[in-house]
């Protein structure tokens, strides 16, 4: 338990590998309470995947960050704060939420647990097409980023190119967009790469869950 919000715990779950060369990856979901396909997709993936696949990596999971928002189906937490902003307040002048402060208190540990890759599962409730955010050190999206994008493209069409919420979207990927999100923060803290999925909230719920689960599986497979 990393901390409590409204007396409810924010859990960090860990499954270490016996392989001393296994990579460290961190998967998070449930930052926004009205984006349910992330937590349910993560749960579905962990329940359905072969345990041998999970044994290939040191996997850590934040299954549900915004507990108060999720319980009532609202985006923000019970303080009307955005739990996925405020990690880097100089970038967008947003104060850290209660959940963000708890996670930031464990910066060193979370950075190490996600040093080889971080995945944050989200939804865009205003869209019927999909896209992802990718934070990487290279000049262009890596093969891993393309595989992550293509994992969602099996279920939904890709969002067209152009500006999306002030971000440049090209070929289904918003690449290295600076903001104060959890995933951008951990990348700047030292994680090799971080990705944020955006399942289309206007689509039916079941394929959104399956798409989120597929993304989790792809992310793990790419770090075997």
Could you identify the residue written with the tokens 């990718």? 134
Residue 215: is it exposed, middle or buried by C-beta count within 10 angstroms (0-12/13-18/19+)? buried
Spatial neighbors of 156 by CB under 8 A, at least 6 apart, are 128, 129, 130, 199, 200, 203, 207, 211
Q: Each residue's pLDDT tens digit in the chain (224 positions)?
A: 999 998 999 999 999 999 999 999 999 999 999 999 999 999 999 999 988 888 999 999 999 999 999 999 999 999 999 999 999 987 888 899 999 999 999 999 999 999 999 999 999 999 999 999 999 999 999 999 999 999 999 999 999 999 998 899 999 999 999 899 999 999 999 999 999 999 999 999 999 999 999 999 999 999 99
pTM score, whole prediction: 0.96
Query: What residues contact residue 13 under an 8 Å CB cut-off, 6+ apart?
Result: 60, 61, 62, 63
């Amino acid at each position: 338990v990393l901390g409590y919000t409204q007396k409810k715990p924010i859990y960090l779950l860990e499954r270490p590998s016996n392989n001393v060369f296994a990579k460290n990856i961190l998967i998070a979901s449930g930052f926004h309470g009205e984006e349910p396909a992330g937590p349910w997709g993560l749960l579905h993936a962990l329940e359905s995947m072969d345990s041998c696949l999970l044994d290939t990596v040191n996997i850590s999971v934040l299954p549900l960050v915004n507990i108060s928002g999720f319980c009532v189906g609202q985006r923000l937490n019970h303080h009307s704060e955005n739990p996925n902003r405020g990690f880097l307040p100089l970038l967008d002048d947003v104060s850290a939420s209660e959940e963000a402060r708890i996670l930031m208190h464990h910066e060193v540990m979370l950075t190490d647990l996600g040093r080889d890759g971080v995945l944050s599962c989200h939804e865009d409730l205003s869209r019927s097409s999909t896209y992802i955010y990718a934070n990487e050190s290279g000049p262009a999206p890596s093969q891993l980023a393309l595989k992550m994008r293509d994992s969602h493209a099996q279920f939904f069409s890709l969002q067209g190119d152009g500006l999306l919420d002030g971000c440049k979207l090209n070929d289904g990927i918003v690449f290295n967009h600076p903001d104060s999100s959890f995933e951008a923060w951990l990348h700047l803290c030292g994680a090799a790469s971080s990705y944020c999925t955006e399942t289309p909230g206007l689509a039916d719920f079941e394929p959104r869950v399956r798409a989120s689960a597929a993304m989790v599986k792809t992310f793990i497979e790419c770090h075997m």
